[in-house]
Amino acid sequence: DTPDSHVPRDPRLIRLTGVHPFNVEPPLTALFKEGFLTSPELFYVRNHGPVPRVRDEDIPSWELSIEGLVENPIVLNFQQILQEFDQITAPITLVCAGNRRKEQNQVRKSKGFSWGAAGVSTALFTGPMMRDIIKRAKPMRTAKYICMEGADKLPNGYYGTSVKLNWVMDPNRGIMLAHKMNGEDLRPDHGRPLRAVVPGQIGGRSVKWLTKLIVTDKPSDNWYHIYDNRVLPTMVSPEQSAIESKWWYDDRYAIYDLNVNSAVVYPQHDGELMPATAGPTYTARGYAYAGGGRRINRVEISLDKGKSWRLANIEYPEDKYRDFESDLFGGKVDMYWRETCFCWCFWNLDIPVTDLTESDAILVRAMDEALSIQPRDMYWSVLGMMNNPWFRVAIVKDG
């Protein structure tokens, strides 16, 4: 029996930590088979502690308080959040900053648990823009940050973090609150009844079970904001990282926008590649994503350790959700958002089987529209975050 025994969960999810708290990723191929949108039961989960127990009858009176450097501090209940603000629906990919950490841990153990490449999922999120809520509270001129706090009580207090007020006020950044995922009420593991969704940034900024927005002139002083979700300089050791209040916990090492990343889904690491039986070509497939609303502009595959590269085809399923007439789209979205990419995309490449049989591995790398490209070498850091070197899958030869 765990503190989460009230939470329904799908047995297909792969546990990455012990019994509690709940940290899971779906099998990579199962995630991929879902397609662009991930069903809530397979969506990855990253919980730092117990899931708050919220009964159905408590939801209408769930309160969100907006306080701090504001002229008009307010407390909104769940009903007001639904009824008094424009509701938008948009597809957004969330990615844990620890996605692909397993590869870092294989090089040198970091302090984090081993995510494979499925710490990423996409859903249609519905709710109000955070800026509409903040505007109602009238931030003061000295305001610079929005701190968020969740209801999960953890060893070091409530989970909390912050983002810049500028970002919240910029509709192009898409920062919203959500009470629905793929048209259904949020599930307990994903923040029921209300969470923040910060598109294009690491999942750690999207606070679940949201209870407070605090307007401040400094970044969050929450323990989890300071000691989690950072890429510390590579020379900081696990022992050093345990010492609090050191220079390496300066806010400059905090991570916000995701970095460019990609993975091969087919062929699988330990799966069979069918060169002998597949016919003249094998279609390699996978995903890619970037941060800050930037679009992936190329995905490249190498079969010769990075000496030469071939260009893969890319599909952007997100684009079909930009059609306001489409009934795929259940709500309104600000027009600025039309230009912005907040979702993963899919790549594929037909490879002649003879080329595969001559190779020992498939490498993939992506580039985004700021021309950031995945590096050849890993940047190891003690918290094992934002791992994004070229993704490699060994080719299994049959027969």
- Which residues are designated catalytic? 96, 228-229
User: Which of 15, 2, 24 lies closest to 189 in space, CA to CA?
Assistant: 24
Q: How far apart are CA 67 and CA 397, in angstroms?
A: 61
Applying CB under 6 A, among 25, 103, 152, 318 the residue interacting with ligand MTE is 152
Q: How far apart are CA 130 and CA 136, in angstroms?
A: 10
- Contact between 225 and ligand MTE by CB under 6 A: the answer reads no
CA atoms in the 13 A half-sphere facing the CB of 366: 27
Nearer to ligand MTE by Cβ, of 197 and 264: the residue is 197
Applying CB under 6 A, among 94, 175, 343, 393 the residue interacting with ligand MTE is 94
Nearer to ligand MTE by Cβ, of 100 and 190: the residue is 190
- Contact between 203 and ligand MTE by CB under 6 A: the answer reads yes
CA atoms in the 13 A half-sphere facing the CB of 310: 16
**By CB under 6 A, which span of 46-54, 80-88, 172-180, 306-314 interacts with ligand MTE?**
46-54
**Residue 118 token pair:** 């499925």
- Contact between 48 and ligand MTE by CB under 6 A: the answer reads yes
Q: How far apart are CA 123 and CA 343, in angstroms?
A: 9
Amino acid in the structure at residue 196: A
Nearer to ligand MTE by Cβ, of 102 and 365: the residue is 102
Q: Tell me how far, at minimum, the Cβ of 337 lies from ligand MTE, in Å.
A: 21
Indicate the residue whose CB is closest to ligand MTE.
150
- Contact between 204 and ligand MTE by CB under 6 A: the answer reads yes
Nearer to ligand MTE by Cβ, of 137 and 385: the residue is 385
Whether the CB-CB separation of 48 and 61 falls below 8 Å is answered with no
Q: Which residues contact 260 (CB under 8 A, 6 or more apart)?
A: 288, 289, 290, 291, 294, 296, 366, 367, 368, 372, 373, 374, 388
**Residue 282 token pair:** 């094998």
Applying CB under 6 A, among 32, 115, 167, 209 the residue interacting with ligand MTE is 209
What is the number of helices (H) and of strands (E) in the chain?
8, 22
Whether the CB-CB separation of 96 and 115 falls below 8 Å is answered with yes
Beta bridge partners of 157: 154
Q: How far apart are CA 360 and CA 221, in angstroms?
A: 48
- Contact between 342 and ligand MTE by CB under 6 A: the answer reads no
Nearer to ligand MTE by Cβ, of 208 and 365: the residue is 208
Applying CB under 6 A, among 40, 68, 112, 150 the residue interacting with ligand MTE is 150
Q: How far apart are CA 56 and CA 211, in angstroms?
A: 17
Applying CB under 6 A, among 13, 46, 163, 293 the residue interacting with ligand MTE is 46
**Residue 186 token pair:** 């949020």
Whether the CB-CB separation of 146 and 67 falls below 8 Å is answered with no
- Contact between 44 and ligand MTE by CB under 6 A: the answer reads yes
Nearer to ligand MTE by Cβ, of 48 and 144: the residue is 48
SS3 263: strand
Whether the CB-CB separation of 97 and 255 falls below 8 Å is answered with yes
Q: Tell me how far, at minimum, the Cβ of 175 lies from ligand MTE, in Å.
A: 14
Applying CB under 6 A, among 54, 96, 301, 362 the residue interacting with ligand MTE is 96
Q: Tell me how far, at minimum, the Cβ of 98 lies from ligand MTE, in Å.
A: 7
**Strand duo 63-68 + 210-216: pairing:** parallel
- Contact between 47 and ligand MTE by CB under 6 A: the answer reads yes
Applying CB under 6 A, among 162, 206, 259, 261 the residue interacting with ligand MTE is 206
Q: Tell me how far, at minimum, the Cβ of 105 lies from ligand MTE, in Å.
A: 17
Whether the CB-CB separation of 198 and 261 falls below 8 Å is answered with no
The reply to whether 96 sits in an annotated binding site is yes
Q: Tell me how far, at minimum, the Cβ of 195 lies from ligand MTE, in Å.
A: 7
Applying CB under 6 A, among 13, 28, 42, 43 the residue interacting with ligand MTE is 43
* Ranges within 179-198 binding ligand MTE (CB under 6 A): 189-190
Nearer to ligand MTE by Cβ, of 45 and 168: the residue is 45
Q: Which residues are annotated as a binding site?
A: 96
Where along the sequence are the contacts to ligand MTE (CB under 6 A)?
43-48, 94, 96, 150, 152, 159, 189-190, 203-204, 206-209
